[in-house]
Chain A
Amino acid sequence: MSDEKSFIKIDKLKKYFPIYSGILKRTIGAVKAVDDVSFSIKSGETLGLVGESGSGKSTLGRTIIQLYEPTSGKVYYKSYDLLMLKQREFQKLRLNLQIIFQDPFASLDPRMTVGEIILEPLAIHKLGTKKEQREKVEFLMNKVGLTKAYKKYPHEFSGGQCQRIAIARALATEPEFVVCDEPISSLDVSIQAQVVNLLEELQDDLGLTYLFIAHDLRMTRHISDRVAIMYLGKIVELASKDEFYSHPLHPYTKGLLSSIPTPDPINERKRQRVYLKGEIPNPSNPPKGCRYHTRCPIADGKICREVEPQWRDVGSDHWVACHKV
């Protein structure tokens, strides 16, 4: 990882959620939602982050922008070490790090008008005069394709429109980095394309960098420059889009990719599937060794069961954590 190029750099990041029990609320364990993750994101790119439910991808995204306090590890934004910053200094950087949530209805305050919602970040950071703020809101609403929405409430809009309101709000402070936390998962397929196209358009216009969290590999292929796969709190493979889809190395990635149906019925019949067996293990008690060995078709021997695979570069910025590669 070349340091000068990296825009966001994550180093050995961990986020454990403690589990309490008993009247005395003693800590009896922890859900290891993000466990020792390192990677970097380049300026202007879209990094797709894919994983099953409960793999910790949302937690990772939220920990990067400091919505959750990391248990250990480091997050760098440009030259800033985000964890070392004082509250007030970080407050200024906040503007540059934004997030779009999965459920557009839940992430908008139902008692606020759309205008107030988009205005809020501007009001919090006291950016510009009242008039300038209002103009900015109008501009943003136009940008995401909403008109005459200022005085309406979120419930008067559809899911896709609400997601565009959420996007407008995230972009109000002119951020450089946006975590898209499954922004399209709760939308209809026809609306998904609209929102994804809007996100791409905005990226070109404003030079945004995205961490695009999803569980749809095809949509990820469409929007991402690089793709990372997460399994049980760890990233198991990270590669550029073309490399990732043409030469997947990790058995988990292969399993996921082979589960994508092909639209062509002849190819579909020939499609070789690697079935993922079983369930994702409990993240508070992950398997020893390689976390995937309980479900892995090629795992064998002691090494997979007892030694944790190293996170290594196998050439041309293709990173993988597997003993068998």
Chain B
Amino acid sequence: MNNAEINTIYAKTRRIDGNKKMRSRIIMKNLKGIIGGTILIIIVLLAILGPSLYKVDPNSTNITNRLKPPALFGGCMEHPFGTDELGRDILSRIMQGARVSLMVSVSAVLISILFGVPLGMIAGYYGGVIDNVLMRIGDIQLSIPFLVLAIAIVAVLGPSLVNVVIILGVTGWVQFARLVRANTMKIKGQEFILAAKAMGSSSFRIFYSHILRNILSTIIVLATFQLALLIIVESSLSFLGLGVPLPTASWGSMINDGRNYLQMAWWLSTIPGCMITLIVLGANLFGDWLRDSFDPHLKHQG
């Protein structure tokens, strides 16, 4: 064998090797995103499409058929996740709960962004008195324990889906405002903002076309983490009976309902609990991956 042949053989093997390595490396690097994204997509599809594919009324009771275990644990295929203490189908209640959870948390996050981002930009950009006033209001709000505040608001307004969204949305603005403020302060000192001023940009234009553009990725990352947090908070409120009013199923209230039957029917609380864990895990993994892939400093590591 001459050198050229050896070289081509080496080159071939190297290329195959490289391709395989490359592919597995790409997968390993984005593993978090793949797992988290898959979980989120499945749950979102479950919430959107579930009720039209699996047509069982989540609120129809059937006392003779109560406390049936899931199909895998000796139940029947009619109720794959079993039934609860009133004979309601757990799978359809889980789907309804997913709808509630996602609706509440997504709209609450959007409300927090709507308030938090502009306020944070104003505080960070103008500084001084405005900054101090806004941030101290935020501090005051954060110093009140969240659940106490939530109980107070529910006591005044009464529990309803809209009220839960309002409570979560209004209390969530501080997180966004703080993050946006810090990033705005960092960006406003850069030369391209000065250049924009030299061109005659209005402050509003600087806000939306320079600052917002540069902090959008961090806002998206925080939004995914907030989403996970708000799902837990919504469940806690429902668990305490302060969330979405009955009979609408919510994961939190399902856990609470199942508490009394924990010894004989563990699945009543465990299944919604697992769903909460799963969606929060999914959102956090996805958020982690988003942060890593948006941040150019972390990109080339590992």
A binding-site residues for B, Cβ under 8 Å: 62, 65, 67, 91, 94-95, 98-99, 101, 103, 106-112, 120-121, 124-125, 166, 169, 173
Contacts and interface: CB of A to CB of B under 8 A. Distances in A.
A107 B192 contact: yes
Given A120-B199, A121-B199, A112 B191 contact: no
Secondary structure at the A interface, as helix, strand, loop or mixed, is: loop
Minimum-distance CB pairs A-B, first 9: A106-B191, A94-B200, A107-B191, A121-B199, A109-B192, A111-B213, A107-B195, A99-B198, A101-B191
B213 A98 contact: no
A140 to B, nearest CB: 14
B65 to A, nearest CB: 58
Interface string B176-209: 0000000000000011101111111110010001
Contacts of B199: 94, 98, 120-121, 124, 169, 173
Given A109-B214, A111-B214, A112-B213, A121 B191 contact: no
Interface residues of B, number: 17
A316 B89 CA distance: 99
B243 to A, nearest CB: 39
B126 to A, nearest CB: 15
Contacts of B198: 65, 67, 94, 98-99
Contacts of A110: 192, 214
B291 interface: no
B213 A67 contact: no
Given A94-B198, A106-B190, A107-B192, 16 more contacts: A65-B198, A67-B197, A91-B200, A98-B198, A98-B199, A106-B191, A107-B191, A108-B195, A109-B196, A109-B214, A110-B192, A112-B213, A120-B209, A121-B199, A121-B200, A125-B200
B66 interface: no
A54 B70 CA distance: 76
A319 B15 CA distance: 71
B32 interface: no
A109 B187 CA distance: 10
B213 A124 contact: no
B210 interface: yes
Contacts of A94: 198-200
B196 A120 contact: yes
Q: Which of B194, B197, B202 has the most CB of A within 10 A?
A: B194
B191 A124 contact: no
5 contacts: A67-B197, A109-B192, A112-B209, A120-B201, A121-B200
